[in-house]
Chain A
Amino acid sequence: MKDIFVLIEHRRGEMRDVSLEMLSGAAKLGGTVVAVLLGKDVDAFADKAAGFADKVLYVNDAMFDNYNSAVYQKALSALIKEHGPGVVLMGNTAQGVDLAPALAVELGASLVTDVTAMEMEGDKPKPTRTFYGGKLDAHFTLKDADLYILTIREATFVAEEPSKSGEIVKVDNPVTEDVPYRKFLEYVEPEVGEVDITQSTLLVGVGRGIREDKNLPVVEELAQAMGADLAASRAVVDAGWLPSDRQVGISGKTVKPKLYLAVGISGAFQHVTGMKGSEVIVAINKDPDAPIFGIADYGIVDDLFKVVPKLVEKVKELKGA
């Protein structure tokens, strides 16, 4: 079996969780696991990765100080041609998604993105991913190729304790020329709003099911009755109904309140990632198959516009009592 390359993802001095998750998952697939680390003075990450990999290929160059998929593509393509791995794993992240499809086209590799489970059939990965916002699992057979690239959803594998001491091999940067057509400029932090929902004890999360911004008072009243803050799914923020500092999920905030009451939220992975650590999760949604019920502790399958006003009454009664 050919080697498995795992691309180590890091940003602004931090190795991202998906890196160790993928290394731990790759170790169970059989074959030699090679961590590929592109960065500038990130020896600490090389040491860390070595605890999970049979080998670390480490390219230390200022070109990789900040992520740029154009530069990454050139470097990875050269390393892959030289070392000939059979499988490359990278995170299905803002980095991986910006890189993997172009790399696959360039190298004639077969690619499946956003993989949520995989096993090996001989030398070939057999991936599963989701469709329709997590409402179905889809099982794929990759087209035969010399190289298979998979982008792995965060938390697909569990990062385990270090158990290896892979050799760290420093290699010269295979990219010898500047990449003029795409240049990194800067990172910009998200705006800070009035309420920091990461500090809230009780959150009422509102999703697409609210339908129109004029319906927002329905959930605002509930939040007020409960003494909770309002959080939102991406759809509600995109529509401009609530400010972006209320957004929960991968591209928003990660919250861990005592209670997360999800109203009209279907529970796509992107949202759930940001709130699954809540102590108690309650979901109100009219779709019985909504993925949110798979992670909620309690659920009401009904029209939110009928249930929420009643809930406001009941909460007020209990509070008054």
Chain B
Amino acid sequence: MNMVVCVKRVPDTADSEVHIDASGKDIDKSRLSFGINECDNYAVEEAIQIKERLEGTVTVISLGNKESDEVIRMALAKGGDEAIRLEDDAFAGGDALAIAKALAAAIKGLEYDVVFTGALTDDDGFAAVPVALAELLGVPHATYVKKVEILEPGKKAKVGRELEGGLMEFLEIDMPCVLGIQTGINEPRYASFKGIKQAAKKEIALKSAADLGLEASDLGEAGSWAVLDSFTPPVVGEMAEILEGEPEETAAKLAAILKEKGLV
């Protein structure tokens, strides 16, 4: 089984304040930490587990600048074999379609049975890359995948998709295919020290838009479905009544409110 796994380096905003920068089209990333997109981490693990069971190769691909090497190397350290990074200034401003076009161009020349991506990213959350990528490659797809069972290596897989309410939809899909992986499908491992040392020496092949044979109309904003005009703070309903004070005071205030409402 030859597998490709697409990973993206994203800012960790789940637990941090997010501020719009002066351009109005981006956020101030200077105080944010970065790491692998959460779903992609599970996608890497899924590919590596399949490789361990059935043998084969895992090629890691990321679109991003030099800083993305850290997430690529971590995937290599866990068991990835080869890596490609797509870097070009012309990729800037691209949405899910432009990213999918670049990934498709890079993957087309590879021999693969399954391409794994995260089902969605923590930053834009388009959730469109795996499904668009499959269509560009001309292969079947499934996304929100939370279970993968290889029925016949290189030929058929049984896949479980997570639907609303935790219901699972099982389907049979032919390979080659693209699977968009949802969080919780497995338990992502930590890289071993030895793996990290070995990964540090591996070469990451760099590909520009020209290397990939992409035209200007495929790239960045021109290659996208839509262009971001601006960010604004979200429109929120009535804000919560914020209880002020030190923990001792806020806890006492809250406990009193709960008591008054008959909730404790």
Q: A130 to B229, Cβ gap below 8 A?
A: no
**A109 shortest CB reach to chain B, Å:** 8
Q: A301 to B228, Cβ gap below 8 A?
A: no
Alpha-carbon distance A3/B27, docked complex (angstroms): 37
Q: A110 to B167, Cβ gap below 8 A?
A: no
Alpha-carbon distance A296/B264, docked complex (angstroms): 18
A154 to chain B: closest residue by CB = B164
**A259 shortest CB reach to chain B, Å:** 5
Q: B237 to A294, Cβ gap below 8 A?
A: yes
Q: Which of A99, A100, A182, A280 is close to B261, meaning CB atoms less than 8 Å apart?
A: A280
Alpha-carbon distance A281/B254, docked complex (angstroms): 12
- 1/0 contact trace for B231-248 toward A, CB 8 Å? 111111101111100011
**Cβ of B111 under 8 Å from chain A:** no
Alpha-carbon distance A300/B123, docked complex (angstroms): 26
**Cβ of B251 under 8 Å from chain A:** yes
Q: A141 to B229, Cβ gap below 8 A?
A: yes
Alpha-carbon distance A252/B183, docked complex (angstroms): 13
**Cβ of B187 under 8 Å from chain A:** yes
**Cβ of B255 under 8 Å from chain A:** yes
Q: B183 to A296, Cβ gap below 8 A?
A: no
Chain A residues with Cβ below 8 Å from B20 are 136
Q: B132 to A280, Cβ gap below 8 A?
A: no
A307 with B252, Cβ < 8 A, contacts A138-B228, A187-B170 known? no
Alpha-carbon distance A244/B166, docked complex (angstroms): 9
Majority DSSP secondary structure for residues of B touching A: mixed
Q: A297 to B241, Cβ gap below 8 A?
A: yes
- 1/0 contact trace for B129-160 toward A, CB 8 Å? 11110111000111110000000000000101
A101 with B171, Cβ < 8 A, contacts A106-B135, A208-B15 known? no
A302 with B227, Cβ < 8 A, contacts A133-B14, A183-B171, A184-B169 known? no
Which among B17, B242, B247 has the greatest number of chain A C-beta atoms within 10 A?
A: B247
Residues of chain A whose beta carbon lies under 8 Å from any beta carbon of chain B: 11, 67-70, 92-95, 97-102, 104-106, 109-114, 127, 129-143, 180-190, 202, 208-209, 226-227, 234-235, 237-238, 240, 244, 247, 250-254, 258-259, 266, 280-283, 286-289, 291, 293-303, 306-307, 310-311, 313-315, 317-319
| 4 further contact pairs, Cβ within 8 A, besides A98-B142, A254-B165, A310-B247 | A133-B14, A143-B226, A300-B250, A306-B247
